[in-house]
Structure 1
Amino acid sequence: MDNREEVREFLTSRRAKITPEQAGLPAGSRRRVPGLRRSEVAALADVSVEYYAKLERGNLAGVSPAVLEAVARALRLDDAERAHLLNLAQAADGSDALTRPRRRAAPWKAHRSLQWVLDAITAGPAFVRNGRMDLLATNQLARAFYDDIYATAGNQANLARFQFLDPAARRFYPDWDQAADVAVAILRTEAGRNPHDKDLHDLVGELSTRSDEFRTRWGAHNVRHHGTGTKRFHHHTVGDLTLAYEGLEMAAAPGLTLTVYTAEPGSPHEEGLRLLASWAATQNLGSPAERSAD
């Protein structure tokens, strides 16, 4: 992905989201574009208009951390957006060269002890995913929970492909638009963190070509941290489920996230997970040995 283009579009999209009132500035009556003017952002960041214009043209190489922080404050970036800006600056400097993949990485598989951990979680779906939203390892309940994804080979066990290319996703996610926003924000965040990931490039290209919904969202340049919250689902066997989730970054495998879904104790949704576990026990969903590697 072209770093200068990514920087340019990210900064201009963030500037367009801020109203003068939010920035404590007079609105005026002759604004031809939404959001703040470049000169206003420059003043808020305490840099010259010419210097900020250079940044917004996509040139972050050599920009000091202090200036990046000032721009982040001026644009009122949240934690995820600030981290994304810093990742873009790191890529512009070439300081990510040591961690840059030279070729496609070999497929990652869970080591046996991690699969044991997943299988020890029996009350809710638990799975490991990467920043491309590939499902890399699951417990039996997660395999049953995401049965629609595995049912179609074209999904390639990828949550984003399922979200945008599989009609079953509209049923599985009652709040489809919200889920779609989250999926694209996760991919956009990963693109900033790992801009040289060839598989990610291919995935974004495929989804942009095949889905107008994805292409529009990708152009918005929204990013987010996806660590905790509540989601609604509709499973084809057990019906509606409202589940809380926690996403835990894996220290032993940077870039991977362990996510666990749970239901409120004593709720109908907890009973729904029990029914899902009973259904999973009757299905041929693959043994733990088939879902892990040494």
Structure 2
Amino acid sequence: MAAYAGEVPADTVREDIRNFLTSRRASLTPEETGLPDIGGRRRVSGLRRSEVAQLAAISVEYYTRLERGNVHGVSADILDSLAAALRLDEVERAHLTALVRAANAPRRATDRDGGASHVRPSLQQVLDAMTGAAAFVRNAHLDVLATNRLARALYREALDTGEQPPNLARFVFRDPRARRFYRDWEGIAHDAVGSLRVEAARTPTNADLADLIDELATHSAEFAGRWDAHDVEYYRSGRQLFHHPDVGDLDLDYDALEIPADPGLTIVTYTLALSAPHAAAFTRLQESAELR
């Protein structure tokens, strides 16, 4: 498991790097990278190590060392070349950098910032002022820490779990209602796992996060399979498709806004999409929120 508590075991970090690089290499073909396919039987899916080394302009021996997780002293230029060779996107590049940083960092105390549990009163005031948007504050572990009235109406099932704080990843993977609530359950499941993997690399000694990941992997084969894929994701903006138990289908635009004054905390807002066909349902949701 790529989340771990206390001091970071060096072997675990190296395994994370190896699995990430191997999975990215396996996702590419010579044709996609402009390399000639010399034919013959390929014993590996995706690119060979020698092909990645060629694309990154480094020796095969050096790339093999990196893929084994031996990244001591690796330069930013080499990481940039490797990221370009593997066609990593912005999130994947940041994830690789975080893994390398964790591998090279001295042993340290347990990280806690990503699991912040306190919301300042002024943030609650900001949420309450958003009367036309559903809005909540979550931490990097996907715990929901504060909501406004419309968010409580929208996420009623996810919040009504008996646990404090409620956790969206638990809802997605352990509550059967989630598959009905999220019309694109596959997409939200991908985003949830990808977000947690980014955080696991950023705060590798966070015991609370390690416990959450272990719990989800133990109780959800869906989560375990997606975790092992080593995909990473930022939940930033887009359109989320819901089926609300009271008002029906809703197509809402979302934006995730990080809070610079509170590292690890994010305000997530949902507003009615301009072209959404469900304006009447959103109005009914607002009316129900006002009655609560």
TM-score by length of 1: 0.90
Cα distance in 1 for partners of 2:80, 2:168 equals 33
Superimposed CA distance per residue, residues 17-66 of structure 1 (whole angstroms, 9 cap, x where no aligned partner): 01110111122231111110001111111111111111111122221111
User: Which position in structure 2 is the counterpart of 1:291?
Assistant: none
User: Which position in structure 1 is the counterpart of 2:174?
Assistant: 165
Q: Secondary structure at the match of 1:255?
A: coil
Q: Secondary structure at the match of 1:21?
A: helix
User: Which position in structure 2 is the counterpart of 1:207?
Assistant: 216
Letter in 2 for 1:236: P
User: Which position in structure 2 is the counterpart of 1:111?
Assistant: 120
User: Which position in structure 2 is the counterpart of 1:10?
Assistant: 20
Cα distance in 2 for partners of 1:210, 1:64 equals 40
Cα distance in 1 for partners of 2:268, 2:180 equals 22
Cα distance in 1 for partners of 2:186, 2:115 equals 33
Displacement after TM superposition at 1:151 (Å) = 1.9
Residues 15 and 169 of structure 1, relative CA distance in 2, 3 Å threshold? same
TM-score by length of 2: 0.91
What is the 5 A alignment of 1:120-135?
120-135=129-144
Residues 281 and 89 of structure 1, relative CA distance in 2, 3 Å threshold? same
Q: Do structure 1's residue 191 and structure 2's residue 200 form an aligned pair?
A: yes
Contact 1:185–1:222 (CA<8 Å) still a contact in 2?
yes
Superimposed CA distance per residue, residues 66-121 of structure 1 (whole angstroms, 9 cap, x where no aligned partner): 11111101100000000000001111110694xx5367998622111111100000
User: Which position in structure 2 is the counterpart of 1:249?
Assistant: 258
User: Which position in structure 2 is the counterpart of 1:83?
Assistant: 94
Q: Secondary structure at the match of 1:22?
A: helix
Q: Secondary structure at the match of 1:200?
A: helix
Letter in 2 for 1:9: N
Residues 274 and 95 of structure 1, relative CA distance in 2, 3 Å threshold? farther
Residues 232 and 61 of structure 1, relative CA distance in 2, 3 Å threshold? same
Match of 2:149 among 140, 147, 150: 140
User: Which position in structure 2 is the counterpart of 1:48?
Assistant: 59
Structure 1 window deviating more from structure 2 (268-277 vs 253-262): it is 268-277
Letter in 2 for 1:145: L
Cα distance in 2 for partners of 1:187, 1:196 equals 13
Structure 1 window deviating more from structure 2 (267-276 vs 214-223): it is 267-276
- Pairs aligned (count): 281
Match of 2:286 among 274, 277, 283: 277
Structure 1 window deviating more from structure 2 (152-161 vs 201-210): it is 152-161
Letter in 1 for 2:20: F
Residues 170 and 105 of structure 1, relative CA distance in 2, 3 Å threshold? closer
Match of 2:188 among 176, 179, 190: 179
Q: Secondary structure at the match of 2:46?
A: coil
Q: Secondary structure at the match of 1:153?
A: coil
Instruction: Point out where structure 1 has 5 or more consecutive residues left out of the alignment.
Output: 284-294
4+ runs deviating over 4 angstroms: 102-107, 265-268
Residues 268 and 155 of structure 1, relative CA distance in 2, 3 Å threshold? farther
Contact 1:145–1:276 (CA<8 Å) still a contact in 2?
yes
User: Which position in structure 2 is the counterpart of 1:61?
Assistant: 72
Match of 1:239 among 245, 248, 258: 248
User: Which position in structure 1 is the counterpart of 2:43?
Assistant: 32
User: Which position in structure 2 is the counterpart of 1:93?
Assistant: 104
Displacement after TM superposition at 1:16 (Å) = 0.3
Instruction: Point out where structure 2 has 5 or more consecutive residues left out of the alignment.
Output: 5-11
Displacement after TM superposition at 1:9 (Å) = 0.4
User: Which position in structure 1 is the counterpart of 2:162?
Assistant: 153
Contact 1:8–1:57 (CA<8 Å) still a contact in 2?
yes
User: Which position in structure 1 is the counterpart of 2:9?
Assistant: none
Cα distance in 2 for partners of 1:220, 1:58 equals 17
Structure 1 window deviating more from structure 2 (205-214 vs 255-264): it is 255-264
Superimposed CA distance per residue, residues 220-259 of structure 1 (whole angstroms, 9 cap, x where no aligned partner): 0000122110110011111100011111111101222111
Displacement after TM superposition at 1:159 (Å) = 0.5
